[in-house]
């Protein structure tokens, strides 16, 4: 009996090559996350819509479906790129994002006290979300170039790119993203082989930078105070999030049975984890943590075994970005760190978050695809030998 697989192993079409070279476990985990995000948006959408006064209860859920479709398209198309294509894409995305961020104060859509959003045809986009993965890819490229010692001042260029991004983020002001890209950038620099002495120095710089931010930006200080002395200040969102998760217990209160989403603003975006816990319970939360953790750790494992320094650093940096964002969001909901405006990749409601998460993962998948000589020999212990592919 002959199997009629849709893509034969010998299929040399663009899609066929993509299918056989992309890490299908990572791909499946990401697909599962997107589906779960849509599922959760159906639970949280009616309450969020009712609170804002939107008549259609599934306003947010339908939009999330649209974002999910767009995210899937980005995942598919970008993950087909070659490492060189990824670099090019990152270059253009970084440039475009920076330009839009510069222009934001003039054409931006101020919401909730910050100029972060760009409104296009009824949808709002947050350009800084797309800048993050692009910056990591470009910085990794520059670190890799600097390693080669061929006269490219890579470290300086990388820091320059980083500095431009941070200045623009702080102007918005968006301290959460600043912390995120600083940490991810630092991780990339670390992985590129920076001496330990430098790490200590840069660590000191980061700490003093954070102290400076703390002293300069009122709302960051307020959030810190809230976190450090929870009795004295209003911590409605975090408290209610904690109560929601506690109420959910092991199995949850049941789909649609959550109450907190009706009482607390923004639960469908930054606090979606609490909604999930209340309605679907701890087992579902562990599934979410497990899926995201699997993506990050398997991604880093793949990155570790790559041969090319740029591919190593860039893909690892992108997975670190996803991991950090996951950590900051969940840790915030669980009261482990102060509140930050940070979405949970693929799960939180929002177009920018979904598309940017898709872009990040797509670039990472593109870099970790199997190509001849891409992986250390040990990595090819099973499956088709890389040499079999042209």
Partner 1 sequence: MTVAPLPSPAPGLGQALRMGARAIWRLEHAFERARAANRPADDTRLRIFFILALFVCVFAALAYEATRAALFSPVGEDVYAAPPPLVVRADLTDRNGELLAADITHYGLYLDPKDVWDPDQTRAALLKAYPKLARERLDRALAGKRREYLAGGLDAAEREAIHDLGLPGVQFEEEARRDYPLGQTGAHLIGYADPSGKGLAGAERGLDGAIHAAAARSEPVALAMDLRVQSALDDELRRAVSTFSAVGGAGLVVDVQTGEILALSSWPAFDPNAPGAAPQNLVANRPYELGSVFKVFTLAVALDQGLATLDSTFDVRMPLQIGDARPIHDHEKGDTVLTLAQVFTHSSNIGAAKLALRAGPAVMGDYFHRLGLFGAAPSELAESARPLVPRQLSELTLANIAFGQGISVTPLALATGMTAVLNGGRYIPLTIRKLGPGQAPQGRRVISEATSRTMLDLMRRNVVEGSGKQVEKLAPGLRVGGKTGSAQKVENGRYGANNVSSFAAVFPTDGPADAKRYFVLITLDSPKATKDTYGFITAGWNAAPTAGRVIDRVAPFLGVARRAGPALDAAPAASPAGTGMHD
**CB of residue 293 vs partner 1: minimum separation in angstroms?**
4
**Cβ-based nearer residue to partner 1, 1 or 378:** 378
d(CA 321, CA 4): 39
**CB of residue 53 vs partner 1: minimum separation in angstroms?**
16
Extended beta strands in 79-235, E state: 109-111, 114-120, 123-125
HSE-up (13 A, CA, CB side) for residue 350: 25
**CB of residue 172 vs partner 1: minimum separation in angstroms?**
27
**Cβ-based nearer residue to partner 1, 48 or 292:** 292
**C-alpha dihedral sign at 310, 316, 322, 325:** negative
In three-state form (DSSP H/G/I as H, E/B as E, the rest C), the secondary structure along 340-354 is CCCCCCCCCCCHHHH
**Cβ-based nearer residue to partner 1, 220 or 296:** 296
Residue 240: φ, ψ to 5°: -65, -35
**Cβ-based nearer residue to partner 1, 264 or 354:** 264
Residue 189, token pair as written in the block = 């620099």
**Cβ-based nearer residue to partner 1, 65 or 194:** 194
**CB of residue 214 vs partner 1: minimum separation in angstroms?**
23
Interface residues with partner 1 (CB under 8 A) are 146-149, 153-156, 187, 190-195, 198, 239-240, 242-243, 245-250, 259-260, 263, 277, 281-282, 285-286, 289-290, 292-293, 296-297, 300-301, 303-305, 309, 312-313, 316, 320, 323, 326-327, 330-331, 334-336, 376
Q: Are strands 114-120 and 123-125 parallel, antiparallel or unpaired?
A: antiparallel
Residue 318: φ, ψ to 5°: -65, -40
**CB of residue 266 vs partner 1: minimum separation in angstroms?**
17
**CB of residue 263 vs partner 1: minimum separation in angstroms?**
7
Cβ(291)–Cβ(32) below 8 Å: yes
**Cβ-based nearer residue to partner 1, 116 or 369:** 369
Cβ(135)–Cβ(318) below 8 Å: no
Give the bridge partners for 109, in sequence order: 117
Q: Mutual orientation of helices 196-216 and 218-228 as an angle, nearest 10°? A: 100
**Cβ-based nearer residue to partner 1, 317 or 351:** 317
**Cβ-based nearer residue to partner 1, 94 or 189:** 189
Q: Provide the total of helices (H) and of strands (E) in the chain, helices listed first.
A: 14, 3
**Cβ-based nearer residue to partner 1, 134 or 191:** 191
Residue 44, token pair as written in the block = 């949280």
HSE-up (13 A, CA, CB side) for residue 378: 6
**CB of residue 324 vs partner 1: minimum separation in angstroms?**
9
**CB of residue 281 vs partner 1: minimum separation in angstroms?**
7
**CB of residue 147 vs partner 1: minimum separation in angstroms?**
5
**CB of residue 160 vs partner 1: minimum separation in angstroms?**
10
Cβ(114)–Cβ(173) below 8 Å: yes
**Cβ-based nearer residue to partner 1, 15 or 251:** 251
Residue 86, token pair as written in the block = 């990824």
d(CA 299, CA 311): 12
Cβ(138)–Cβ(165) below 8 Å: no
Classify residue 53 by its DSSP letter. Answer: T
């Amino acid at each position: 009996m002959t199997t009629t697989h849709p893509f034969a192993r010998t299929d040399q079409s663009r899609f066929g090559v993509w299918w056989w070279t992309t890490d299908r476990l990572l791909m499946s985990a990401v697909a599962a996350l997107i589906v779960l995000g849509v599922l959760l948006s159906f639970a949280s959408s009616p309450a969020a819509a009712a609170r804002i006064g939107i008549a259609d209860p599934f306003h947010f859920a339908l939009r999330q479906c649209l974002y999910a479709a767009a995210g899937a398209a980005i995942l598919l198309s970008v993950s087909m790129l070659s490492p060189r294509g990824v670099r090019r894409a990152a270059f253009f995305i970084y440039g475009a994002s920076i330009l839009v961020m510069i222009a934001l104060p003039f054409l931006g859509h101020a919401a909730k006290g910050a100029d972060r959003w760009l409104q296009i045809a009824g949808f709002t986009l947050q350009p800084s979300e797309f800048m993050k993965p692009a910056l990591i890819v470009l910085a990794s490229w520059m670190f890799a170039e600097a390693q080669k010692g061929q006269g490219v001042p890579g470290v300086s260029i990388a820091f320059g790119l980083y500095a431009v991004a941070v200045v623009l983020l702080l102007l918005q002001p968006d301290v959460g993203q600043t912390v995120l890209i600083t940490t991810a950038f630092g991780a990339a620099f670390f992985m590129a082989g920076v001496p330990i002495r430098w790490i200590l120095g840069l660590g000191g710089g980061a700490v003093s930078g954070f102290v400076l931010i703390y002293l300069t930006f009122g709302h960051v200080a307020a959030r810190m105070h809230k976190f450090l002395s929870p009795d004295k200040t209003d911590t409605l969102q975090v408290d209610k999030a904690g109560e929601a998760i506690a109420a959910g217990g092991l199995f949850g209160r049941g789909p649609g049975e959550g109450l907190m989403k009706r009482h607390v603003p923004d639960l469908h975006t930054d606090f979606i984890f609490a909604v999930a816990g209340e309605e679907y319970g701890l087992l579902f939360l562990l599934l979410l943590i497990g899926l995201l953790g699997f993506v990050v750790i398997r991604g880093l494992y793949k990155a570790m075994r790559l041969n090319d320094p740029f591919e190593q650093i860039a893909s690892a940096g992108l997975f670190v970005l996803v991991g950090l964002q996951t950590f900051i969001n969940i840790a915030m909901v669980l009261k482990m760190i102060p509140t930050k405006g940070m979405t949970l990749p693929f799960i939180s409601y929002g177009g920018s978050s979904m598309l940017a998460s898709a872009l990040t993962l797509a670039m990472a998948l593109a870099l970790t695809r199997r190509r001849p000589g891409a992986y250390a020999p040990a990595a090819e212990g099973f499956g088709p030998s890389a040499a079999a592919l042209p």
